[in-house]
Structure 1
Amino acid sequence: MVKIKKNIAISDSGFVFDPGSGDSYSLNPSGLEIVQLIKSGKDFKEILETVSEKYEVDSDSFERYFYDFVATLDQLHLTEPDGKD
C-alpha cells in the first residue's frame, strides 16, 4: 500500500510542501483528491471506487494513470519506502 510521508504538508488548494527537501509542488484537483485518499489510508480498490463514482473513467485507464501518478510521487520522494510505516 502506498503511503505519503507524514511530514509532507498538503493544503486544500493542492499546494504540497516537503520540509525535508524544501521542495514544493502543485497538484490539480484530481491529483489532490487521490493524494488525500492515499493519506487517509485508502487502498487502490477503495480509491478506484471513489474516483469511478465521481468521474467517468474505466478501471483499466484509471489503474494505469494511478500507478504512473504514484511513480511520480515516489520519484519526488513524497512516499514512504516500501515496508515502512
Structure 2
Amino acid sequence: MLVALSPAEGGAAIYLPLDGSGAAHTVAWSRQRGAEVVAPGPYEGAFILRIPQGHLAMEALRQGALLISVPEFLCGSPDPSKKT
C-alpha cells in the first residue's frame, strides 16, 4: 500500500508527521532532500511538497511521517521554469 501511495518523481505529496513534530522539522527534512515546500497542510507540521526524486516515502516513514501522493490540482501547477 505504501508503494501505491508514494509520490512520483516531480509529483506533489503531503508530508504528515505522526510523532507530533512541528513545521521546522518538516521544512528541514524537505530541504535536506531537495523537496519544495508548496503549502501548509491541514495540521501542525504537515505540508504539501513537490518531490524532486522518488523513493522518499520509506525514508519519511523511518523518520516518523507519512509521505502520500496528492493530486496536482490541490497544490497548483508546477513551475515551468524548474525541471523535475
TM-score by length of 1: 0.31
Higher share of residues assigned helix? 1
Higher share of residues assigned strand? 2
TM-score by length of 2: 0.32
